[in-house]
Amino acid sequence: MPTLPKESLLLYKQRAARLVQTGDKKIEIKTADGESHSVRPKDVILLHPGPVANLGLLPPPQGEVMAAWELLAGETVSLAELAELAYGEFTPAGAWALWQMVDEGVYFSGDVDAVHVHTAETVAEIQANRAAKAAEAAAWQAFLARMRAGQHPLESEDRYMADVVAVALGQQSQSRTLAALDREVTPESAHWLLLRVNYWDEQINPYPHRLGAILQAPELALPELAEEERRDLTHLVALAIDDEGSQDPDDAISWEAGRLWVHVADAAALIHPGSTLDQEARARGANLYLPEGTIPMLPPAATPRLGLGLNEISPALSFGLDVTAAGEIENVEIVLSWIRVTRLTYAEAEDQLETSPLREVEALARAFTARRQALGALDLNLPEVRVRVVDGQVTVRPYASLYSRNLVRDAMLLAGEGAARFAQANQIPVPFSTQERGLDLPMQVPSTLSGNFALRRLMRPSQTKGEPGLHAGLGMAQYTQTTSPLRRYADLLAHQQIRAFLSGQTPLDSQTLAQRMAEGAMGISLTRQTERISNRHWTLVYLLQNPTWTGEAVVVENSGHRSLAVIPDLDLEGPLYGGSYELDQVVPVTVTGINLAQLQFNIHPR
């Protein structure tokens, strides 16, 4: 590297510097702020050989810089040549003035030995790009100011909100906007911001998207119902009893000379094992029941074709059960059938409990309930509500306490026990539903709400297995779910296995069955979590829509100075503030401090 002249003009870290002293390995320089630095020669760039006595005396000289630019446009010259043309001579002041323009990069770019003179088109493009960046930076800062003030974003600012929405929906984990606002980049934080600036309102339920639920009905064609032998049971009175407004009736009950018949929609007649329809149902696990509407497990066309009572005659898989007066199953017959179904609501069925066939089924159900209770059945009595959203308005209604619900429940449980016995007797692998009792479960629990609440906490989760086992909660030695194949994959899988046996085909082996059970269980777990959180979201929306709501809460747990209460009419539980309470004490309350993004609220006595 050639020796640098003393008092030459240098460039050091994009600043002007003057060479003060040379040395063997390092040189001493002084920058415009008066600071001295000892640096290596390679750390500086020679702009002009000088002499420069004072860096403060480098005012831009008078000249024709723009004329030089126009004359040299598109060419490459040295800094000295450019200065000669622009100022008529190459001076330290001219070198520094031109270098600043080179560094700015609009009209010139490059280095001391090769300055690229931009064309007019290039200059215009650079200026336009810089103006756009400046405008974008100003728009971004104005947007952030609006967000901090809680103002609704402008329509042009939707692009800034996109990553906030994506985080709120669980679609990505990074957000430039949230980071710039010094907020946590979490779905809850994003949801809070969207609500605060009124970009979202409470009508948006982000949880199905956030949890990854499938939100479209299957768009798959159904095969035609095959011609096969079916027993004609159309002479029996078959009652499909459901909640008012139910759209997917898939079970019905009949009584025939001492035999209980439980008829179930023959979904496996159209959903064949391993088919695309079967794979789709397995991925979903179950119907997704949201307050906003239902997303079915099967194609929508399946229900009108297979739902019981939706046509004059319905195909079914019918379970014939001979049950003793003590509620014991003596004999099980399972047949493909044709049935004629009458649909009833639970309220309508309640009015018919004294008439046949419900009179006979009721006596049977009571005996069966007594048998299960003798075996330790744990029938929890906890609040249940139905949350619905219609045209943006939320309703929350408790389910009426009707014995007809218990009757239907026990008839379905009998069918499940009968199916399990039939499968065992004929060595048919099916999904068995089991539940361990648990060593810490007390033998006697108060029948109060707090007792039921404590019992639910202690109960172990039910499991689906390939081998029969005790279901402690139901008080049943063996049980398989079979009565909801239109809406639960485990039930459909049991139907497919039983159907294969009835038709002389080979059912799936235990290993294949276990794999499909596991896949279906993943889907149903996600479905149930989505339903639970969505119900909580919409219940809080109901309270926001009804700010003067008042009701009653029941104390179900005390821990130190903290009480946990349940509002039965809303099926909502949370901490109760404002005093000391006894278990099962009924407290008039209001709900305040609703934080929809966090699904939090406060219960206060009134």
Helix or strand run (H / E) with residue 534: helix 510-545
Residue 20, C-beta contacts closer than 8 angstroms, at least 6 positions apart = 6, 7, 27, 28, 29, 30, 36
Please give the model's pTM, rounded to 2 decimal places.
0.86
pLDDT of 1: 56
CA-to-CA distance for 253 and 413, rounded, in angstroms? 12
Helix or strand run (H / E) with residue 300: none
Alpha helices per DSSP H over 253-396: 276-284, 302-306, 346-350, 358-374
Q: Where are the beta strands (DSSP E) in 53-134?
A: 76-77, 108-110, 115-117
CA-to-CA distance for 269 and 320, rounded, in angstroms? 19
Tell me if residue 351 falls in helix, strand or coil. Answer: coil
**What CATH number matches the domain at 121-200, 3.30.70.270, 1.10.10.10, 1.10.287.3510, 1.20.200.10?**
1.10.10.10
CA-to-CA distance for 425 and 429, rounded, in angstroms? 11
Which parts of the chain register pLDDT below 70?
A: 1-2, 438-445
Residue 82, C-beta contacts closer than 8 angstroms, at least 6 positions apart = 68, 72, 98, 108, 115, 117
DSSP state of 130: H
The two structure tokens encoding residue 412: 């379905």
Residue at token pair 């479209």:
216
Asked if 175 contacts 167 with a C-beta cutoff of 8 angstroms, the reply is yes
Q: What is the pLDDT of residues 432-443, one digit of tens each?
A: 999 987 656 665
* Full DSSP string of 413-457: HHHHHHHHHHHHHTT----EEEB---TT--S---SSHHHHHHHHH
Asked if 526 contacts 519 with a C-beta cutoff of 8 angstroms, the reply is no
**CA-to-CA separations, 192 to 161, 432, 535, in angstroms, rounded:** 13, 43, 19
Task: Residue 604: name the closest of 579, 570, 577 by CA.
Answer: 577
**CA-to-CA separations, 337 to 234, 270, 310, in angstroms, rounded:** 9, 15, 16
pLDDT of 60: 87
The two structure tokens encoding residue 448: 């109060």
Listed by start position, the domains of the chain span 9-120, 121-200, 231-531, 547-605
Per the CATH hierarchy, to which homologous superfamily does domain 547-605 belong?
Nucleic acid-binding proteins (2.40.50.140)
Task: Residue 8: name the closest of 46, 59, 56 by CA.
Answer: 46
pLDDT of 443: 57
pLDDT of 445: 66
Residue at token pair 């860096």:
55
Q: What is the pLDDT of residues 107-152, one digit of tens each?
A: 999 999 999 999 999 999 999 999 999 999 999 999 999 999 999 9
Residue 512, C-beta contacts closer than 8 angstroms, at least 6 positions apart = none
DSSP state of 69: H
CA-to-CA distance for 161 and 152, rounded, in angstroms? 11
pLDDT of 439: 58
Task: Residue 283: name the closest of 510, 12, 44, 524 by CA.
Answer: 524
pLDDT of 195: 98
